[in-house]
Amino acid sequence: MACSLCEKVQKQLLSTNSDQVKSKDDDSLVTVADWSVQATVSWMLSKSFGSKNISIVAEEDIQTLSKSESSSLLAMVVSAVNGCLSEASRFGLQGPEKPLSPSQILEAISQCSSRGGLLGQHWVLDPVDGTLGFVRGDQYAVALALIDDGEVVLGVLGCPNYSVKDNGLNKYSRENRVTSNGEVGCVMYTRKGSGKAWMQPLIRFDKRLDWPNSAKLIRVSSVDDPALATFCEPVEKSNSDHSFAAGVASTAGLRKKPLRVYSMVKYAAIARGEAEIYMRFARSGYKEKIWDHAAGVLLVIEAGGVVTDAGGCQLDFSRGIYLEGIDRGIIACSGSKLHEKIIGAVYASWESSNL
């Protein structure tokens, strides 16, 4: 449902010069889709579990939407949310009996204000991961995870612009964003300890697929030769140190150019075997948020991969909204052999960079 909502908003965004994108205090972007997805998922989770007291950790707040000058923006969010929820039955879900009011939608968004933590269950949502990619008509993801007593136990990634066919990243183009045959767009999901991860084509408003019979198992790549491995990194230099990553790649023996991809689609590419390595070395002072990694990390691990910080330690999702104590960066690999080589290269490159 959330992915279909995003597709509609993205189509409008790319075809008109509309007022659907805003800058936040940290200069990152937020769109009608971010707020609308957060409201939709929040409302559905509360209804599904029969409580407004469930813990949801999510990225957006209602500060901008609550301003008097944002009435037209709020109206667009209200329209998008109610349009999506009205189609819930097509996805086998039950929507509200009548359209939600603006105050109800603001309440659903603001309900996602939990800080997470070690105890209890916390849903973790990134309504539109990779908003810049979304705005540019490129890759993005809708990410939902469940943390139980500090451990990520469920992970779901909706990737509307990622082809269900092999080589989906390399063949992607704006012109082929959505096709009627359902080849573009997929949802991947897993649960902790299953040792399995699944992928299915997107179910869209206009086409009902036979879920879960349309799902298939996915697995990480068996490539363990660095010279043959494909590695991903963030598109923007502000989100990762490209030069340091290049040094690590060279030291590890990687020969291919980096594949720069927006959002957690990088984790998805590793989980389904289209890439072998994801390296992210955030700028100094930047603190990683749990919603940017939780679903993708579990997906890679259950599909057979390895994810740690750049020092080889497990990521800790039990300490609130931030991934505290990360050593230099995050490394995801399709297997332990490649992972060991990358970690070794990190240490070697780090020592060289500090000479």
Active site residues: 34, 131
233 is in an annotated binding site: no
- Strand arrangement of the beta sheet that strand 231-233 belongs to: 259-260, 231-233, 277-280, 330-333, 306-309
Q: What is the largest CA-CA distance in the chain?
A: 66
CA distance 124 to 77: 21
Q: How far is residue 217 from each of residues 58, 195, 203, 330, measured CA to CA in Å?
A: 28, 10, 17, 25
148 is in an annotated binding site: no
CA distance 232 to 235: 9
User: Are the C-beta atoms of residues 128 and 6 closer than 8 Å to each other?
Assistant: yes
316 is in an annotated binding site: no
Task: Please report, as a single letter, which amino acid is at residue 145.
Answer: A
175 is in an annotated binding site: no
Unique residue bearing structure tokens 């082929």: 176
User: Are the C-beta atoms of residues 276 and 222 closer than 8 Å to each other?
Assistant: no
CB-neighbour burial class of residue 262 (10 A; exposed 0-12, middle 13-18, buried 19+)? buried
Which residue blocks in 114-176 are alpha helix, DSSP H?
Answer: 131-135
Give the alpha-carbon dihedral of 251, 255, 257, 261, to 10 degrees.
Answer: -80
Annotated binding-site residues for Mg(2+) read 59, 126, 129, 292
